Chains A and B, each alone.
Chain A
């Protein structure tokens, strides 16, 4: 009797697994109630053809930005498009690219993402994304309404694989309390003044740092390289020899090394942990480079000011950041996804996102009569005029890792500039050449 019962139970277990695996096409056999229940739980419901379509949108918005998106913008879009539901998925920056690539290789990429501008060429080169200039008949209209710099980050091999969603750049944020204590009246406008101010800030005593950043990656070092007139590659991104190891880039790294050696720079740039915002708030760090999200997240209680990236021989050149909205080939609802792109680039949506710290990309917003707060965004629009984008290349991640390590080895004093950077360009040059 017991054996029979065991056979029945095990048979039911197998049947339930098999049914769950087969999906909705399995006919409901004459089976006990328990099996039917299991089946109901485990099958993913297939949406009926007439029901609402869901488009998935992955992003890295901060809390306030995400609330604006989910509580205001998406409901508005869904009201305008009753047939479409937008599923917003927030993923931390550090995990975003890996998670996305896993999804792409599994054939389950989201319809749309808010992509770091630096990833767009890589996705396009892989053939994962949709050329929006081919898909959207009204693409020109949108392309003409946005800033050219951010738009250019979408261009790869003759096509535009996205549209800019928001832009940003790094400007100098200075700690007014520390400047006052050190007797400095105005923020530095040149890198020479920057160095002189650092000397004064060092006089404030032990544990006071003039400047801090988290490492030697592109976002951190490129503003210095460009402001010294150096570069990573030639303007066409085909070769780094003579640029990354050139004399102007060298001057930039020597400047950074001086900051480290003199104790002006927080040692966190060499690795080992740093809380730059905490240090800034506690009057331990006098200057950082930050983007327009800073006040929203850091708060406005502390007394600080904004200034342009201090100028060197190459000008006061900062780094362009920001995000593009990108559509994936694996999307089943490209038309609806394109509608969402049009919606999110509308003036109203851009104003809404600007109110929570997202710097808009519409050209008209930089002009007088702008619907957004130019008192605040003005400095970023000003910096945007000269700010430049990091190497827009499918191999950017590898290229960046190479010069990040070279810079670190040099700043730590383990290798001379020639040793570190001649080796770096030898590795980077082959990466710049793409197989068709």
Chain B
């Protein structure tokens, strides 16, 4: 029992980590490893029944599956549309909010509300808004504002069926990104703005030359996190269109879900999700590698 003080400290740390680590191993690492194994099999969901090893069969099938390609395209388009739009709107609201003196907490709460509302409930609401011919949105456009003559069949066609999905994604992103940006903005020393002002920089130049460079690490962080979220879009698609009409709004995760849980093709489903994981890991790595300066990488 002659452990040195620092050894004891380390032992304590490990003991504290252990319960969480065990839970992590059992409920996160084990399922991932199991799923990885499943992706090489024609998996039988009955316990005790034999599973047929088919090597890369599921991955080859995914590569040749036109719906996998379509859903991958849809996922990428979703990310390209929602992430930059969400970030720009979030940055704008953060800049505005950073300047007002009164009601800051009120507006911050207001913008953050979408983040804490349930995806499920809002998805259902969006589906009702976009119903045709008698949804609320059609009613507003046709009867109240007379912008269009005939109601639009939003959910029956692409690309209009994507609009509620994109809109919901952006609406959800803004609040979260704004709070992060706000925190970053508050770390910028006011002297820098004063100095810039003395040098004759206007508001736009101050934004470009002072604000943005200084919150760059935050921008990259938000970009990476939102991109991962974008690639993982599922709930809104599942509940608003369920991949329809004719599988045209299917995204990677909804297609994976249908394969695994409707058609019981768990091997194929897991293969699709590992393809998605590979894409996300590569993109995140590239983003961090090229968008962050070397000194910012921990």
Contact = CB atoms under 8 A, between A and B. Distances in A.
Contact of A273 (B12, B46, B155, B262): B155
Nearest to A16: B19
B290 interface: no
A168 to B, nearest CB: 24
Interface string B94-125: 00000000000000000000000000000000
Contacts of B46: 104-105, 126-128
B268 to A, nearest CB: 12
B49 A127 contact: yes
Contacts of B11: 7
Contacts of B133: 207, 267
B217 interface: no
A398 B264 CA distance: 10
B209 interface: no
B8 interface: yes
A11 B134 CA distance: 62
A3 B1 CA distance: 14
Given A6-B12, A11-B15, A397 B22 contact: no
Interface in B146-188: 153-156, 161
Nearest to B245: A271
A414 B132 CA distance: 20
Given A10-B12, A13-B19, A270-B153, A409 B45 contact: no
B164 to A, nearest CB: 11
A14 B15 contact: yes
B18 interface: yes
A148 to B, nearest CB: 30
Contact of B12 (A7, A102, A126): A7
Contacts of A412: 156, 245-246
Interface in B8-30: 8-9, 11-12, 15-16, 18-19, 22
Contacts of B145: none
B156 to A, nearest CB: 4
B19 A267 contact: no
B155 A271 contact: yes
| Most chain B beta carbons < 10 A, residue from A10, A127, A207, A412 | A10
B15 A270 contact: no
A405 B241 CA distance: 14
Contacts of A273: 127-128, 130-132, 135, 155
A98 B263 CA distance: 10
A397 B128 CA distance: 27
B229 interface: no
Given A127-B46, A270-B153, A270-B245, A397 B262 contact: yes
B244 interface: yes
Contact of A98 (B130, B245, B261): B261
A101 interface: yes
Contacts of A409: 246
B162 to A, nearest CB: 13
B47 interface: yes
A107 interface: yes
A127 B244 CA distance: 32
A354 interface: no
B22 A17 contact: yes
Contact of B156 (A7, A102, A272): A272
A174 B144 CA distance: 33
B8 A267 contact: no
A3 B45 contact: no
Contact of B246 (A6, A128, A397, A405): A405
A14 B19 contact: yes
A79 to B, nearest CB: 36
B235 interface: no
A26 B219 CA distance: 52
Contacts of A289: none
B49 A398 contact: no
Given A14-B18, A267-B133, A397-B262, A272 B49 contact: no
A101 B261 contact: yes
Contact of B245 (A101, A107, A408): A408
Nearest to B5: A3
B89 to A, nearest CB: 28
A267 B153 contact: yes
B221 to A, nearest CB: 32
Nearest to A12: B15
A161 to B, nearest CB: 15
B264 A101 contact: yes
B180 to A, nearest CB: 32
A216 to B, nearest CB: 10
Contacts of A127: 46, 49
B87 to A, nearest CB: 31
A7 B247 CA distance: 56
B156 A3 contact: no
Contact of B45 (A14, A101, A267, A270): A101
**A-B interface, 8 closest residue pairs, ranked by CB to CB distance from nearest:** A10-B15, A272-B155, A273-B131, A272-B156, A105-B45, A271-B245, A98-B261, A6-B12
24 contacts: A3-B9, A10-B16, A13-B15, A13-B19, A17-B19, A17-B22, A97-B262, A101-B45, A104-B46, A107-B47, A126-B45, A127-B46, A207-B134, A267-B132, A270-B153, A271-B241, A271-B245, A272-B132, A272-B155, A272-B245, A273-B131, A397-B262, A405-B247, A412-B245
